[in-house]
A and B are shown apart, each in its own frame.
Chain A
Amino acid sequence: MDGIADYVFLRQLGQGPHGRVQLARTPARLAVDDEHVAVKVIGGATSKDAFYRVAQELGSIAALRCELLARVFDVGLHEGTAYIAMRYYPRGSLVEPGMQLSRRQRLVAVARAARAAHELHEAGTVHRAIKLSNVLLDDAGGCLSDPGTAQLLKPGLTVTGLGPSSDMGARSELEYVDPWLLRGRHVGRSSDIWSLGVTLHAALTGHGLYPRMPSTDPLVAVRLHVKATPELDPDLVAEERAVIGRALHPERSRRYRTAAELAEDIEALAHGG
């Protein structure tokens, strides 16, 4: 069995674009009650500079002490490999929840993620990586995890490499990215609001907004993706379409002004339906 630093891995919880997430026993030095923690091992080498940037950023997010954000305990660098140790959420994420979820539970989880994003925005931070797999399930109904650190590891980076063989992965990673970012525009509240809209659509319908990608060549994929128009599932009811449509408005200025306003509308959907 593997490990990193003083974490001994018990089993793999999942794999994402930046590395693997492993279940580990909690080292005593963390001084937390949880028996287990989830450790994300960042693939590839991380320089000290990049590590300090990530640690700094995660430190200021942890200082918000926001209950809506997944808790990070420890960030480390071991022989050039960075890791992030966080609370283990046994019920998993909205991608593959460890239990059957009702429509209402799914909506509550996305609404809480939207509120979490708002807290980050009010603290001057853009999340950059809101998606189903980063909405983790807890007793309170859900929380938002993994504020994007890719940008801190590689300045200028907008989308992390889609990988050579992951046409499915490529598709879904790209979908969550505000098309304005692929045109070179900067991140802001509105780009996170776009990602929340895609997350909401996926949580309600179980699928994405774009047709299957005809090409797996990333150079072609990015170009085609930006020219494609997202299409909402025809089975959505009018109220749902209205909320998603406003979060995904092609003009940034006509989207929800804040993630909190979006959260309110998602909560209304949860309690209405």
Chain B
Amino acid sequence: MNSEAGTVEPTAGPNSDPVLVEVHPGAGVIDRHENVLLVIPVVGTHQWPQVKELLELWHRPGAHIPNAQERTADALLTAAEAGGLPGLVLLHGLDGDVDVRAYGDVEVTLDGSDQRSFSGTDARPWVARRVPGSVSILRVLAGGAAGSTTPGPSPFHLEGGTVPGSGVTLHRAGLPPPLSGAPQATVARKAVTFESVLLTDVAEQRPPRRPALPLEDPADLLDVAPEGETPEFVDGVECPMGHFNDPASTNCVTCGTALEWLPGRTVRRPRPPLGVLVTDTGSVFALTGGYVIGRAPERDQAVLSGRAKALVLHDVGQSVSRVHAQLDVSGWRVFVTDRGSANGTFISRAAQGAPWERVRDNPPTVFTPGARLRIGGRQVLFETYREEAAGRVGRL
């Protein structure tokens, strides 16, 4: 494998773009994805975390597909309304009628006319306008003093991606940018830096081959810990078929046979996965050990030290803290603790409609199969598919 960092000046593609997005230099953020544009002219230092999160939402796969655009835009603006976000403008459909949504202190000017300009503060919570295709120049800048001076022509045209900037001027209908007196600028693109691992010449350094996967799949009887994880040994009982179970279970979790537990009949084996965590977006995580749950749990000490895995829950409203809650597995049980989150962690123990109780740290709260956690605006379910799961809840 050959690892390299490349700096490449891409050449202009054959498809000359009918819409030119001229970016004015500055420290805000401009993001273009084909015919969808997000403009945040000014970002205060304290606003970066929110803006970063907003961009993450914006870059989620599928966020730009036509019927999702509406929803994503609504989510963005709702998040903006919830506070802490700078003024922003969303433009959909750059090459025809443009749907403009302006929020906060931002100014949109049409064909350079002051009479035809509007501000994101003209209406609450935001201004939604349809700008007809006949408008050929559309400019977005910060409102008030920050945007009062008309920017000079910029040679920098955005074709796609996220770049810094203080605003944009859209030149539509193939019109060249109006360069009053300035020399005709050519479409310049910024140099691209990226990291790449070429796999076209891998044969030269053959990496050591891993051993083949075991043939007799032991998963039905005994679970092996995934690569890189040390199995934790626990005491359990075996059903007549040899399936390994929690001594507190009344029936085998695998085959359903009744377990007659006799003291002294326990065996010590690696703990099988206790079930799965299902998030409200349908991601499924194996519950083989601890998790730190939050918006950005990767750099938490428990994750860095390998004691727990990171479970990232995104939430634009900032209702999920960076490190929000923690799950610890001990023996056959799972414990949940709140990690000092802003909004608290709540548990609902039964399937539907059970009341939410706040998770207490002392004594730690037991997280039982079938229970749900509420973490800010998100939910996580502990699912086991054990037939007797409901019966077990009372016994823990």
List residues of A whose CB falls within 8 A of some B CB.
1-6, 8, 10, 15, 17-20, 27, 29-32, 43-45, 47, 51, 55, 58-60, 62-63, 65, 72-79, 81, 121-126, 154-165, 170, 177, 180-186, 188-190, 217-219, 221-223, 226-227, 251-253, 257-258
Some 12 contacts from A to B, beta carbons below 8 A apart, are: A4-B194, A29-B198, A45-B56, A59-B197, A59-B207, A123-B209, A159-B283, A183-B384, A186-B224, A217-B280, A252-B217, A252-B220
Per the bound structure, the CA–CA distance linking A58 and B282 in Å amounts to: 26
- In the assembled complex, how far is the CB of residue A55 from the closest CB belonging to chain B, in whole angstroms? 4
Per the bound structure, the CA–CA distance linking A183 and B165 in Å amounts to: 48
Per the bound structure, the CA–CA distance linking A177 and B160 in Å amounts to: 35
Is the C-beta of B298 less than 8 angstroms from some C-beta in chain A? yes
Is the C-beta of B233 less than 8 angstroms from some C-beta in chain A? no
Per the bound structure, the CA–CA distance linking A237 and B199 in Å amounts to: 43
Does B273 contact A184, Cβ atoms closer than 8 Å? yes
Chain B 270-286 residues near chain A, CB threshold 8 A = 272-276, 278-286
CB-CB under 8 A for A15 and B62, given A1-B17, A189-B213: yes
- In the assembled complex, how far is the CB of residue B83 from the closest CB belonging to chain A, in whole angstroms? 24
Q: Which residues of B contact A126 (CB under 8 A)?
A: 213
Q: Which residues of A contact B13 (CB under 8 A)?
A: 1, 3, 8, 10
Does A121 contact B311, Cβ atoms closer than 8 Å? no
CB-CB under 8 A for A184 and B283, given A3-B160, A43-B61, A223-B383: no
Q: Which residues of A contact B200 (CB under 8 A)?
A: 30-32, 73-74
Chain B 17-75 residues near chain A, CB threshold 8 A = 17, 33-34, 56, 59-62, 65, 67-68, 71
- In the assembled complex, how far is the CB of residue B64 from the closest CB belonging to chain A, in whole angstroms? 9
A-B contact count (CB 8 A): 232
15 extra A-B contacts, CB within 8 A, seeds A121-B212, A161-B282: A76-B195, A158-B276, A162-B281, A162-B283, A164-B71, A177-B284, A184-B272, A184-B286, A184-B287, A185-B273, A188-B217, A190-B219, A223-B383, A252-B220, A253-B216
Interface readout for B228-249 with A: 1 if CB under 8 Å, 0 if not? 0000000000000000000000
Q: Which residue from B210, B216, B223, B312 sits with its C-beta under 8 Å from A185?
A: B223
Per the bound structure, the CA–CA distance linking A154 and B219 in Å amounts to: 22
Does B284 contact A1, Cβ atoms closer than 8 Å? no
Does B159 contact A79, Cβ atoms closer than 8 Å? no
Is the C-beta of B8 less than 8 angstroms from some C-beta in chain A? yes
Q: Which residues of B contact A72 (CB under 8 A)?
A: 199
CB-CB under 8 A for A78 and B194, given A124-B209, A156-B309, A161-B282: yes
Does B285 contact A156, Cβ atoms closer than 8 Å? yes
CB-CB under 8 A for A184 and B34, given A75-B199, A253-B217: no
Q: Which residues of A contact B363 (CB under 8 A)?
A: none
- In the assembled complex, how far is the CB of residue B348 from the closest CB belonging to chain A, in whole angstroms? 11
**Nearest A residue to B253 by beta-carbon distance?**
A183
Does B272 contact A20, Cβ atoms closer than 8 Å? no
Is the C-beta of B394 less than 8 angstroms from some C-beta in chain A? no
Is the C-beta of B291 less than 8 angstroms from some C-beta in chain A? yes
Chain B 309-344 residues near chain A, CB threshold 8 A = 309-312
Is the C-beta of B202 less than 8 angstroms from some C-beta in chain A? yes
Does A74 contact B213, Cβ atoms closer than 8 Å? no
Per the bound structure, the CA–CA distance linking A70 and B60 in Å amounts to: 26
- In the assembled complex, how far is the CB of residue B245 from the closest CB belonging to chain A, in whole angstroms? 14
- In the assembled complex, how far is the CB of residue A155 from the closest CB belonging to chain B, in whole angstroms? 5
- In the assembled complex, how far is the CB of residue B390 from the closest CB belonging to chain A, in whole angstroms? 13
List residues of B whose CB falls within 8 A of some A CB.
1, 3, 6, 8, 10-11, 13, 15, 17, 33-34, 56, 59-62, 65, 67-68, 71, 159-162, 192-200, 202-203, 206-207, 209-217, 219-221, 223-224, 226, 272-276, 278-288, 291, 298, 309-312, 372, 379, 381, 383-385
Minimum-distance CB pairs A-B, first 10 = A124-B210, A162-B282, A43-B61, A184-B273, A218-B282, A2-B160, A78-B194, A159-B284, A6-B8, A76-B196
Per the bound structure, the CA–CA distance linking A77 and B4 in Å amounts to: 11
**Nearest A residue to B62 by beta-carbon distance?**
A163
Per the bound structure, the CA–CA distance linking A20 and B64 in Å amounts to: 11
Does B217 contact A190, Cβ atoms closer than 8 Å? yes
Does A125 contact B282, Cβ atoms closer than 8 Å? no
Does B311 contact A156, Cβ atoms closer than 8 Å? yes
**Nearest B residue to A45 by beta-carbon distance?**
B56
Does B286 contact A181, Cβ atoms closer than 8 Å? yes
Does B1 contact A55, Cβ atoms closer than 8 Å? yes
CB-CB under 8 A for A155 and B309, given A44-B59, A124-B213: yes
Does A186 contact B220, Cβ atoms closer than 8 Å? no
Does B226 contact A161, Cβ atoms closer than 8 Å? no
Q: Which residues of A contact B223 (CB under 8 A)?
A: 185-186
CB-CB under 8 A for A251 and B220, given A2-B33, A159-B284: yes
CB-CB under 8 A for A159 and B61, given A76-B195, A123-B209, A124-B211: no
Q: Which residues of B contact A8 (CB under 8 A)?
A: 10-11, 13
Instruction: Identify the interface centre among B56, B273, B284: most chain A CB within 10 Å of its CB.
Output: B284
- In the assembled complex, how far is the CB of residue B184 from the closest CB belonging to chain A, in whole angstroms? 22
Q: Which residues of B contact A157 (CB under 8 A)?
A: 283-285
Q: Which residues of B contact A186 (CB under 8 A)?
A: 219, 223-224, 226, 273, 286
Does B203 contact A65, Cβ atoms closer than 8 Å? yes
**Nearest B residue to A155 by beta-carbon distance?**
B309
Does B196 contact A184, Cβ atoms closer than 8 Å? no
